[in-house]
Amino acid sequence: METERFSPRYKDIDIWDAHDVLDALIEGQFAAVAAVRAARGDIERAAAGMEARLGETGRLVYAGAGTSGRLAVQDGAELMPTFSWPRERLLLLIAGGEEALIRSVEGAEDETDRAVALVRQHEIGPADVLIAVAASGTTPFTLACLGEAKRRGALTIGIANNRGTPVLEAADHPIYLETGPEPIAGSTRMNAGTAQRITLNALSSLLMIRLGRVYGGLMVDVQPANEKLGQRSEKMLHHLTGRPATEVREALARAGGNVKLAVLLLKGCSPKEAASLLKRARGRLREALRQLGVREKDED
């Protein structure tokens, strides 16, 4: 496998000058970006499939082990505060469980029975999407999660850094990231990990945009869970409506901190009307505003 292969280029890296080592490591990061760009078409097709599958109730499931699993979990966990992705619609399956987030759990990546049991326990099925991430493309836990989820009808996305490997062969939407050998042979936390991180970020961000959780380049579904995010919500609402700070804060209070609802309130809707508009627009603020504009035009 390319990610495990020793590269003669780095055979003396331990005696290079520090700046030469850093140059090589940074160059590898650029190579990781290039690998993601080369896979852009596959990422776009995967996002389209995910958008069509998730609908109103489907769950987003991440599966992985080791570094790949931790990267997958991180991407999934960030969807909740950033885009208000519902907790009940997110599953994070990592070999070794929560302990594996902070330390290596020996043998966990080989626990295929555990992987199958988790997929069955959570009743993953046709409404769901599972993203399996494995640099090698052969990790038993990850492959078992993907295989069982696919058998049960879920849409599967496979991300790997070695061509023609089982994770890519089994997935409905394979995403191959050609990062090649690492400066430290087999250390896939380096180039392979960077490419995975970018891919996950781009894939989930594109999905959230397509699902209407971004409007005008703003994270209008952000959860104001702390003072910083509360201030961000106020700035977004002011930017979108031009209303003074007092009206902005009042609208956000009436909307329970929901920026999209607050925009509609400041457009003259009652809370009930705003909620109804957003529901009909499937949460898409742009569509809700279009419908509101049509309605106002009809009333005139």
The predicted structure's pLDDT at residue 294: 59
> CA–CA separation, 226 vs 232, rounded Å?
10
User: Rounded mean pLDDT of 250-273?
Assistant: 95
| pLDDT surpasses 80 at 265 | yes
Catalytic one of 4, 44, 78, 250: 78
> CA–CA separation, 87 vs 76, rounded Å?
10
> CA–CA separation, 3 vs 195, rounded Å?
12
Model confidence band, residue 298 (pLDDT cutoffs 50, 70, 90): low
User: Rounded mean pLDDT of 274-283?
Assistant: 93
Give the count of beta carbons closer than 10 Å to the beta carbon of residue 177. 28
Model confidence band, residue 17 (pLDDT cutoffs 50, 70, 90): very high
The predicted structure's pLDDT at residue 232: 94
Model confidence band, residue 55 (pLDDT cutoffs 50, 70, 90): confident
Find tokens 């049960």 and name the residue. Answer: 152
- pLDDT tens-digit series, residues 201-257: 999 999 999 999 999 999 999 988 899 999 999 999 999 999 999 999 999 999 999
Model confidence band, residue 15 (pLDDT cutoffs 50, 70, 90): very high
Q: Which residues of 76-102 are buried (b: 16+ CB within 10 A; e: fewer)?
A: bbebebbbbbeeebebbbbbbeeebee
Give the count of beta carbons closer than 10 Å to the beta carbon of residue 39. 21
Catalytic one of 109, 111, 148, 234: 109
| pLDDT surpasses 70 at 28 | yes
Share of the chain above pLDDT 90, in %: 83
Average pLDDT, the chain: 93
Q: Active-site residue 78, yes or no?
A: yes
Token code pair at residue 263: 């925009």
> CA–CA separation, 284 vs 280, rounded Å?
9
**Element (H or E) spanning 196, and its range?**
helix 191-210
| pLDDT surpasses 90 at 271 | yes
User: Which residues fall within 8 angstroms of residue 109, CB to CB, at 6 or more apart?
Assistant: 65, 66, 95, 96, 139, 140, 141, 142
- pLDDT tens-digit series, residues 58-116: 999 999 999 999 999 999 999 999 999 999 999 999 999 988 888 888 789 999 999 99
Q: Active-site residue 227, yes or no?
A: no
Q: Picking from 32-36, 170-174, 248-252, 290-294, which range would have the lowest pLDDT averaged per residue? A: 290-294
Find tokens 């959230």 and name the residue. Answer: 208
The predicted structure's pLDDT at residue 296: 53
Decide: pTM greater than 0.85. Answer: yes
Give the count of beta carbons closer than 10 Å to the beta carbon of residue 273. 15
- pLDDT tens-digit series, residues 123-180: 999 999 999 999 999 999 999 999 999 999 999 999 999 999 999 999 999 999 999 9
